[in-house]
Amino acid sequence: MKFGVVVFPGSNCDQDCFYVTKDVLRQSVKYIWHRDTDLDGLDCVILPGGFSYGDYLRTGAIARFSVVMKSITDFSRKGGTVIGICNGFQILLEAGLLPGVMLRNRDLHFICKHIFIKTENNQTRFTNLYNTGQILKIPIAHNEGNYYIDAAGLKELRDNNQIVFRYCSATGEIGNQFNPNGALDNIAGIVNKKGNVLGMMPHPERSCEIELGSQYGYFIFQSIIKWLNRKRIR
Amino acid sequence: MKPDVYHSLGLSDQEYQNILKILKRKPTKTELAMFSVEWSEHCGYLRSRKWLKILPKTGKYKTLIGEDSGGIILDGLAIIFKMESHNHPSQIEPKQGAATGVGGIIRDIFTAGARPIALLDSLRFGSFSQAYNKYLFRGVVDGIQFYGNCVGVPTVGGEIYFDKSYTGNCLVNAMCIGIAKKDKLVRARAIGKGNPIMYVGSSTGRDGIGGCSILASHEFKEGEEKRPTVQIGDPFTEKCLIEATLEAINTGYIVGIKDMGAAGLTCCTSEMASAGNSGMDIELQAVPRREENMEPWELMMSESQERMLVCIKKGKENQIKKIFLKWDLNASIIGKVTDDRLITIRDNDKIVAQIKAHSLTKAPVYDMPYKKPRYLRKLNKLELSKILEPKDYNKVLLKLLAAPSITNKAWVYEQYDHMVQTNTLVLPGSDAAVLRLKGTKKAIAATTDCNSRYCFLNPYRGAQIAVAEAARNLICSGAHPVAVTDCLNFGNPEKPESFWQFKSCVEGIADACRFFNIAVVSGNVSFYNESPQSAINPTPTIGMIGIINDINKICSQNFKQEGDVIILLGYCREELGASEYLQEIHNLTKGDAPQLDLKLEQAVQKTALKAIEKGLVNSTHDCSEGGLAVALAECCISNKDKMIGANINKLNYDMRLDVLLFGESQSRIILSCSKDSVEKVRKIALEFKAPFYVIGKTGGRVLRILNDTEELIYLSLEDLSEEWMGALKKEIEG
């Protein structure tokens, strides 16, 4: 498989995503500079975490205007696999590739810690190796992860089974006290209607090797590889 | 020139006379400004240099001592690190003060060619009972998260202490660690006549003018307004600067590079030229600027952040320029290297300053008088009989666990991205942070330590303890301690009592480091940490790095399983001086610092390390503030997802019980291991002649401590955890 990791000025998880795809997943991977337009030959594009353009304005608000975003929009329209992690998720929202917006965390602090999320939909190319309801321990690190969408939008997300991950307790209970940032409906990750674009606040690339404390994120990448392999065989 | 002109720049009459002698004429305004910043205490180390020479520069590993940082060589890797203070700016504007402290120390690391991989912060504030201290605390934490998170370097550890001596002068000491292939390191020097000098990074404004001379080299006086001297941080630019600089260094065309930190352009031009035994000819019109009508002296003094000066191989300037432009950074050639050893500054070709580089960088050395303070004789005396023994030890333990200096700091470190770069193997909250070195089996451990109350009551021993404890913390994670960076925070060096504290602490560090064969590879001195109320406690913060040879042999402080045997290495002595218990419960800063026997310390450390490396122990924790009882409680509750109780039923001491529980005897480590390993650990202890005591067992939902048959502590894990985990958040957020 060929992965591409987008580098905006201020991205700071690009090297982590690159490392995971190359050294842990043993896949081929290249960096995509924010001024690049050529995504040819890529199977999956990763928008990594960080502070694109410093995020001194609203998170992702400037990154959406960068040259590469037009190519990524075309890539996703053609059904290409796109995953936005943390700041990448925020950029996908600003670019309109996913619905909704991000507000500041409920407690108005940056939060970095391991939390738990529940797999709500395992029928996606990102989650096919999980069981429905499976609980994943995985780190978050963000200031703006408080997902919001209007009532109609939320209904649509629910009706189309687009909510992929929800924050939960270690035993899978859903509730305000297990929601780290105040996200509406405890949403931690969603896909677009077509199911080829995933945005998630937790960092799967920080959760691929057991010595880092959890390995659940690994299976998101493995799910993508499995799905792409199957597609190729067909 | 009128004295009030150079006085206002922080220069003394004597120094002005010196300048006249060096120049053999009156200085221009720009020259005077340049001398004033280079000869400031902050940049020139006028008062400390004589004593810093006694610190050991070699140790177990090959050391590297650079212009702005230092490090060690491990296999083919260079591990570069340094700690630096940003106290005065943080006291005035806590968010930007702390943020630019972080930014500055990161630049010291990547200008050496090393990728910054971790940050630690040692912070000190006055008591929360004063609202301004709370504001400072929140602001400093906010500044560190603002800068560190954005720039993508994980903040993995540090320490936070509270003491009334820091009211009016908080301390913010930031440490950064970086790694590089050893053949990719660069120096901060300019050599090669005709090589171009390029300015890269942010543009120059009027922020931070006189930061090092007027702000950092004087104490705070009543009613002073110094905010304009504080710089403003831009972590986004810094992130781009990191990537561009490392990319540029990788080309091999960089001859030398230096951060424009304190004293800005003056410091870079004079120190790079001086280090290369060269001169430099600079045209100020080429300096990118963000404000109009800046005078030459303002350009030379500005401390605008995120800027660097680069010396490039002649003919390669366009290749280097392209890299910086790709990252949307300024890159402007502002001059060239000369062989006349002069710093020549031109404005529109007109010379506005011309000074020998060496005369700027070789600031005068002052031999300062020192005197042991008289108050110590009285303070060092502690009559135990006059200290009331508490009736309820449980209450005391809960109170200590909630004390700001002891309580869990998750409220702080969860605001810091401590995982980015995916190297953090031991997360914040244990004795030391551990970072893997990708592509090897090895890891490095890092910690910062200093108990300033010990240093106040006994500076020499307090400083030795800071070194010993830092080493102990590293040992507890399974690391071999190898090198130190020190950040020496003191009061006004012109007062003999203050200077005695400084001198004694430096001697303590030097002697302890020599004993452990640990090199001091970098450091920083911050004097004039005084407010109208008082000077700070002497605070020689020790940042120490250790090497873990096998990442599968890492240890952490929390008990891992029920039924393990708990072992105490070391002695509990009947000593209570300088303890957190005396301070928190009896409101006393009194007595002497705990005893320290370096040979005993080494025996205990060697035993613990060998036991860890042989895979015999499941947890290791150092006994420090709050003594045995607090350390045991932390072992029980520091993994909140898996708390495990303990029954300590084999203590049998004939001493005051509050001293047994809360005394801070040094050289003690608590281990836990399975039943089968106890004898093997005992053998190791025998080999190194370390005191070894089985004191109890893990298990249950309670921490219970007996002495002989008397029950002293009986507390549920939930009660312990509520105090320890919850106190800080409650204090700050209400």
- Edge-to-edge strand order for the sheet containing B330-338? B254-259, B307-312, B196-201, B330-338, B279-283, B342-347, B350-356
Torsion of the alpha carbons at B204, B206, B207 and B209, rounded to the nearest 10 = 110
pLDDT surpassing 60 at residue B226: no
* A75 Cβ under 8 Å from any chain B Cβ: no
Distance CA B424, CA A212 (A): 7
B83 Cα distance to chain centroid: 4
CA distances to B468, B603, B628 from B599, rounded to whole Å, are: 11, 6, 21
Strands (DSSP E) along B273-429, which ranges? Answer: 279-283, 307-312, 330-338, 342-347, 350-356, 424-426
Task: Flag whether the pTM goes above 0.90.
Answer: yes
Helix (H, G, I), strand (E, B) or coil at B267: helix
Does any CB of chain B come closer than 8 Å to the CB of residue A53?
Answer: yes
Render pLDDT for A74-92 as a digit per residue (tens, 0 to 9). 999 999 999 999 999 999 9
Nearest by CB to B551, which of A13, A211, A213? A211
Residue-range domains of chain A with CATH: 2-233 (3.40.50.880)
Domain regions of chain B by residue span = 47-185+408-551, 188-363, 555-734
Give yes or no for a contact between B449 and B469, defined as CB atoms under 8 angstroms apart.
Answer: yes
Q: How many other C-beta atoms lie within 10 A of the C-beta of residue B386?
A: 9
State whether the Cα torsion B237-B238-B244-B249 is positive or negative: positive
Grade residue B533 by pLDDT with cuts at 50, 70 and 90.
confident
Using the beta-carbon criterion (under 8 Å), do A10 and B416 form an inter-chain contact? no
Q: Among all chains, which residue has been given the structure tokens 């950029």?
A: A91
- Mean pLDDT, residues B347-370 taken together: 94
Q: What is the mean pLDDT of residues A160-166?
A: 98
pLDDT value at residue B396: 98
A196-218 per-position pLDDT tens digit: 999 999 999 999 999 998 999 99
Instruction: Give whole-number Cα distances, B457 to B199, B380, B382, B594, B595, in Å.
Output: 47, 7, 12, 10, 12
Q: Which of A49, A56, A111 sits opposite B236 (nearest CB)?
A: A56
Helix (H, G, I), strand (E, B) or coil at B70: strand
Does the beta-carbon distance from B150 to A20 stay under 8 Å?
no
Q: What is the 3-state secondary structure (H, E, C) of A133-179?
A: CCEEEEEEEECCCEEECCHHHHHHHHHCCCEEEEEECCCCCCCHHHC
Q: Which superfamily does B47-185+408-551 belong to?
A: PurM-like, N-terminal domain (3.30.1330.10)
**Sheet with B702-707, edge to edge strand ranges:** B617-622, B669-673, B565-569, B692-698, B646-651, B702-707, B710-716
Question: Across the interface, which of A112, A143, A209 has its CB nearest the CB of B418?
Answer: A112
Query: Which residues of chain B lie closer than 8 angstroms to A56, CB-CB?
Result: 236
Question: Pick from A23, A141, A211: which is nearest to B425 by CB?
Answer: A211
Phi-psi sector, B192: left (phi>0), alpha (psi -120 to 50), beta: left
In this predicted model, which residue has the larger pLDDT, B65 or B253?
B253
- Cα–Cα dist B432/B427, whole Å: 9
pLDDT digit string (tens) for B585-605?
999 999 999 999 999 999 999
- The answer to whether B721 and B429 have CB atoms below 8 angstroms apart is no
Q: CB–CB of B420 and A12 under 8 A?
A: yes
* Cβ A18 vs Cβ A44: under 8 Å: no
**Span B555-734: which CATH code?**
3.90.650.10
Strand, coil or helix: B646:
strand
pLDDT digits (tens, 9 = 90+) for B380-410: 999 999 999 999 999 999 999 999 999 999 9
Across all residues in chain B, what is the average pLDDT? 94
Chain B interface includes A3 (CB < 8 A): no
Chain A segment 148-207 residues within 8 A of B by beta carbon are: 170, 203, 205-206
Level-2 CATH architecture, domain B188-363:
Alpha-Beta Complex (3.90)
CA distance B667 to B225: 46
Same fold flag, B47-185+408-551 and B188-363:
no
Are the beta carbons of A119 and A200 closer than 8 angstroms? no
Which residues are registered as beta bridge partners of A81? A44
Nearest chain B residue (CA) to A107? B733
Phi and psi (nearest 5°) for B445? -115, 150
CA separation for the pair A24, A200 (Å, rounded):
20
- Distance of alpha carbon B104 from alpha carbon B267, whole angstroms: 14
- ipTM of this predicted complex? 0.97
pLDDT, tens digit, for every residue of A1-59? Answer: 899 999 999 999 999 999 999 999 999 999 999 999 999 999 999 999 999 999 999 99
Q: Would you list which residues of chain B are within 8 Å, Cβ to Cβ, of chain A? A: 145, 149-152, 234-237, 239-240, 327-328, 413-422, 424-425, 427, 436, 438, 551, 641
Supply the pLDDT for residue B699.
Answer: 97
Task: Please give the residue of chain A at the shortest CA–CA distance from B419.
Answer: A206
Contact partners, residue B635, CB within 8 Å, separation at least 6: B557, B558, B559, B566, B619, B621, B646, B670, B672
Q: Which residues in chain A are closer than 8 Å to B437, comparing Cβ atoms?
A: none
**Closest in B150, B236, B422 to A206, CB measured:** B422
Query: How many of the other CB atoms lie within 10 Å of CB of B179?
Result: 23
Mean pLDDT across A164-190: 97
Question: Which token pair is B404?
Answer: 């700001």
- As a whole number of angstroms, the distance between CA B108 and CA B116 comes to 10
Give how far A12 is from chain B: nearest CA, Å: 5
Catalytic residue among A44, A86, A168, A208: A86
- Per the CB < 8 Å rule, is B240 touching A112? no
Contact A112 B328 (CB under 8 A): no
CB contact under 8 A, B414 and A51: no
Q: Considering only CA atoms, which of B719, B713, B715, B720 is closest in space to residue B695?
A: B713
Taking the C-alpha atoms of residue A141 and residue A50, their distance in angstroms, rounded to an integer, is 9
Q: How confident is the model at residue B40 (pLDDT cuts 50, 70, 90)?
A: confident
